[in-house]
């Protein structure tokens, strides 16, 4: 009996040591300087919807090491049943681990496009492991800053080395895709049919050869890329074998990925169809040699909700997306999400009028909110005009030079009509011609809406306390139009000496397209110190008189909302009497 137990124990031990196991420990490394031409190994990846990790043969054919910081590259030839089935190396195979004699050599990273789809370039694992030891300051703060992120790479070479990867988007229509490409300077954006579960997994596991996703936008709209896991060491992950955006220390979503299948392509243009899935961690390094991340930790984010209403059809849709926080990206990505939501809801954005109001929740202002509402019209594509103020607001928040300002969320409400809602000022008539400084009168503004009967708007106006005796020229215009009295050469940029807080205040106070604004017209002339003292004395005299009479000086608002976008300037003249 004891002998039987001893034999069974020995069999169990042998099974434990002999049977291949999926572990989270880093395997032994095959050093770059020990590799030689002719060595044969195996690469591991997923190529179909089964999710099964398969392998194919890889034969080393050469090494390059130019030194002085140049990227080391291993050249190899892929072969085997999997490669025959796929027609060569596919986009999405980047990161596939290569082993020789059970030791990890590196990750598939690129192919020689338009020459041989089976000729591959491998990034040595020694270069990738360095990513785990790089500083990660973006993990220590609430909000993060990334300098240059996207750089469109152009080349006229007919045959070139191309990374085995591409950017994938979902939820974007063609107009939204075009907007995204233009704003971010991206090429090679694809929107393949994919299917993947969404959500968050707090205890996900990965193994070398598994499909992996990296995303910047997640939700109803997504922007990211899929590739393959190269190595796992506990919670630490290495993948891709090349950069995603070459952003350095970054703050991106790490996701699992579902492979649907693969499409063979001539001369290295095949692709592995995959979609980003559950959020499983954070990618914190995006470098030349690959991407690195940590399972179970998650990036700081900006949630954005966009509600779009079609007034003509009385229908409404709400879209939700989450943007991985990067100061240089949030403004453009936020605008892209809003533009696409509007584009998808409307049959056309030409000859349309849009009302948009947004609320940026942030600690950049004491109120905790930047709220703005405006109306836009454009004959060709009103959406591109309508999102500019949101982009401007987000840029303002992200441009604080003293400290990082948090963005806790963005809510956007849009309503649109497929008609032109503009109006021109026909005339401006004051209720009285002769006025005194500090007096408030009504101006009747006659508007001519586009292809509709004229309408009249009553607008109160307060004569400035400092108004001189004589004629006072007034300009009434749309809030977005620049009146002549602002066309001055002050010698410096209007914002050059303004604080961060004042620039946000100026943005919030800026006139709106559908407002009537009244201002003193004519060019401002330089005033002497004597004239300024006289104006101040006059203002104090009037205020003292009002106080004696038990009255309080109250200036009427110089702006009033209308139902139309005002597209021109009207003028009138008052006669100011002596105080």
The model's pLDDT over 81-116, given as tens digits with 9 standing for 90+, comes to: 999 988 888 888 999 999 999 999 999 998 876 678
pLDDT attached to residue 9: 35
User: Of 274, 280, 279, nearest to 195 (Cα)?
Assistant: 274
d(CA 453, CA 129): 72
- Residue 548: pLDDT above 80? no
- Per DSSP, helices labelled H in 346-446 are 382-386, 388-397
| Whether residue 212 is found in the same domain as residue 139 | yes
Based on the fold, state whether residues 59 and 208 are members of the same structural domain. yes
CB 510 within 8 A of CB 495: no
pLDDT tens figures, 200-243: 898 999 999 999 999 999 999 999 999 999 999 999 999 999 99
* Model pLDDT, residue 266: 54
Residue 463 has pLDDT above 80, yes or no: yes
On whether residue 11 sits in a domain, the answer given is no
Domain-located, residue 323: yes
Nearest to 221 by CA among 182, 181, 188, 173: 173
What are the distances in angstroms from CA 385 to CA 297, 311, 355? 38, 19, 11
- What value does the mean pLDDT take over residues 511-534? 77
Q: How far is CA 160 from CA 46, 88, 226, 465, 520, in A?
A: 25, 16, 22, 72, 63
Query: Higher confidence at residue 198 or residue 313?
Result: 313
The answer on 105 and 254 residing in a single domain is: yes
CB 148 within 8 A of CB 104: no
Residue 555: per-residue pLDDT: 74
**Domain co-membership, 411 together with 428:** no
- Label residue 496 by pLDDT band (50, 70, 90): low
Q: Which CATH number characterizes residue 263's domain? A: 2.40.10.10
Instruction: Give residue 152's pLDDT band: very low, low, confident or very high (50, 70, 90).
Output: very low
pLDDT > 60? residue 8: no
Assess if residue 5 is contained within a domain: no
Average pLDDT score over residue span 15-29: 57
Span 374-393, average pLDDT: 93
Whole-number Å distance between alpha carbons of 327 and 21: 42
Torsion of CA 564, 566, 570, 576, to 10 degrees: 80
The per-residue pLDDT for 144 is 34
Q: Kindly state the percentage of the chain with pLDDT values over 90.
A: 53
Last residue of one domain, picked from the residues 269, 299, 329 = 299
13 has a pLDDT exceeding 50: no
Residues 458-472 have a mean pLDDT of 89
Report pLDDT digits (tens) over 157-205. 333 444 555 678 888 988 998 898 888 877 666 666 555 677 889 899 9
127-136, 191-200, 210-219, 403-412: which has the minimum mean pLDDT? Answer: 191-200
Q: 260 is written with which tokens?
A: 């649907």
Average pLDDT over residues 309-317: 92
Token reading at 353: 């009028």
Q: Is residue 8 part of a domain?
A: no
Query: Are residues 371 and 243 located together in one domain of the fold?
Result: no
Q: Among 417, 449, 480, where does a domain finish?
A: 417
CA distance 434 to 575: 5
Structure confidence at residue 151 (pLDDT):
34
Residues 408 and 371 in one domain: yes
Query: Nearest 5°: phi and psi at 321?
Result: -150, 160
> Do 426 and 400 share a domain, yes or no?
no
Quote the CA–CA distance of 272 and 126 in Å, as a whole number.
27
- Cα separation, 400 vs 502, in Å, equals 12
**Domain total in the chain:** 3
288 plus 310 within the same structural domain:
no
26 Cβ neighbours under 8 A, 6+ residues apart: 104, 231, 232, 233
**Predicted local distance difference test score (pLDDT) of residue 19:** 35
Residue with tokens 């139309």: 564
Higher pLDDT, 501 or 124: 124
**How far is 444 from 431, CA to CA, in rounded Å?**
7
Alpha helices in 308-450 (DSSP H): 330-345, 382-386, 388-397
Question: Does any domain span residue 478?
Answer: yes
Same-domain status, 119 and 182 = yes
Locate 336 and state its tokens: 């892209």
Q: Which of 367, 368, 369, 232 is closest to 296 using CA atoms? A: 232
Q: Note whether 456 and 568 are same-domain residues.
A: yes
Whole-structure pTM value: 0.82
Residue 12, in any domain of the structure? no
Residues 479 and 406 in one domain: no
Residue 216 lies in a domain: yes
- Mean pLDDT value across residues 539-555: 73
Q: Among residues 299, 326, 342, which one ends one of the domains?
A: 299
Domain check: are 159 and 77 in the same one?
Answer: yes
Residue 465 or residue 58, greater confidence:
58
Cα gap 270→277, rounded to integer Å = 22
List the alpha helices (DSSP H) in 438-509. 500-509
Mean pLDDT, the chain, rounded, equals: 83
Range of the domain at 567: 422-576
Q: Please report, for residues 467, 485, 528, 579, the alpha-carbon distance to residue 470 in angstroms, rounded to integers and kept in the order given.
A: 9, 18, 19, 11
Q: Residue 529 and residue 533: Cα distance in Å, rounded?
A: 6
The answer to the question of residue 374 being in a domain is yes
């Amino acid at each position: 009996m004891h002998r039987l137990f001893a034999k069974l124990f020995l069999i169990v031990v042998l099974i434990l040591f002999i049977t291949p196991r999926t572990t989270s420990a880093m395997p032994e490394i095959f050093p770059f300087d020990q590799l030689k031409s002719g060595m044969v190994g195996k690469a591991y990846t997923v190529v179909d919807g089964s999710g099964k990790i398969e392998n194919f043969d890889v034969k080393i054919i050469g090494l390059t090491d130019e030194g002085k910081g140049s990227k080391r590259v291993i050249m190899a030839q892929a072969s085997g049943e999997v490669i025959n089935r796929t027609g060569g190396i596919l986009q999405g195979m980047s990161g596939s681990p290569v082993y020789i004699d059970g030791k990890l050599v590196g990750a598939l990273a690129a192919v020689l496009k338009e020459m041989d789809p089976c000729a591959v370039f491998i990034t040595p694992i020694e270069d990738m492991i360095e990513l785990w030891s790089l500083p990660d300051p973006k993990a220590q703060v609430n909000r993060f800053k990334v300098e240059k992120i996207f750089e469109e790479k152009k080349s006229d070479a007919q045959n070139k080395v191309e990374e085995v990867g591409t950017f994938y988007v979902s939820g974007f229509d063609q107009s939204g895709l075009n907007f995204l490409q233009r704003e971010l300077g991206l090429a090679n954006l694809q929107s393949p049919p994919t299917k993947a579960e969404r959500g968050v997994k707090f205890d996900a596991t990965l193994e070398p050869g598994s499909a992996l996703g990296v995303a910047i936008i997640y939700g109803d709209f997504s922007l990211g890329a899929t590739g393959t896991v190269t190595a796992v060491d506990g919670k630490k992950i290495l993948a891709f074998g090349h950069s995603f955006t070459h952003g350095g220390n970054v703050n991106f979503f790490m996701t699992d990925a579902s492979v649907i299948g693969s499409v063979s392509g001539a001369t290295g243009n095949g692709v592995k169809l995959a979609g980003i899935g559950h959020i499983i961690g954070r990618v914190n390094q995006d470098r030349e040699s690959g991407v690195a991340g940590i399972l179970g930790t998650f990036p700081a984010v900006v949630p954005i909700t966009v509600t779009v209403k079609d007034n003509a059809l009385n229908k409404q849709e709400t879209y939700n997306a989450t943007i991985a926080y990067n100061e240089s990206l949030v403004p453009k990505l936020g605008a892209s999400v809003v533009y696409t939501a509007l584009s998808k809801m409307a049959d056309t954005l030409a000859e349309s009028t849009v009302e948009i109001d947004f609320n940026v929740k942030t600690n950049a202002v004491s109120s905790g909110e930047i709220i703005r509402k405006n109306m836009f019209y454009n004959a060709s594509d009103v959406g591109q005009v309508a999102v500019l103020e949101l982009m401007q607001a987000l840029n303002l928040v992200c441009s604080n030079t003293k400290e990082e300002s948090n963005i806790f969320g963005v809510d956007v409400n849009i309503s649109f009509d497929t008609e032109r809602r503009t109006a021109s000022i026909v005339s401006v008539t004051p209720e009285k011609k002769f006025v005194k400084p500090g007096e408030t009168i009504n101006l009747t503004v006659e508007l001519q809406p586009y292809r509709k009967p004229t309408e009249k708007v009553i607008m109160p106006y307060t004569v400035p306390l400092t108004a001189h005796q004589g004629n006072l020229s007034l300009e009434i215009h749309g809030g977005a139009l620049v009146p002549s009295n602002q066309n001055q050469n002050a010698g410096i940029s209007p914002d050059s000496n303004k604080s961060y807080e004042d620039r946000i205040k100026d943005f919030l106070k800026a006139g709106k397209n559908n407002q009537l604004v009244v201002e003193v017209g004519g060019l401002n002339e330089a005033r002497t110190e004597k004239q300024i003292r006289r104006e101040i004395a006059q203002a104090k005299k009037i205020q003292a008189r009002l106080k004696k009479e038990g009255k309080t000086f109250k200036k009427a608002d110089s702006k009033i909302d209308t139902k139309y976008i005002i597209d021109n300037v009207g003028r009138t003249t008052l006669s100011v009497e002596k105080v």
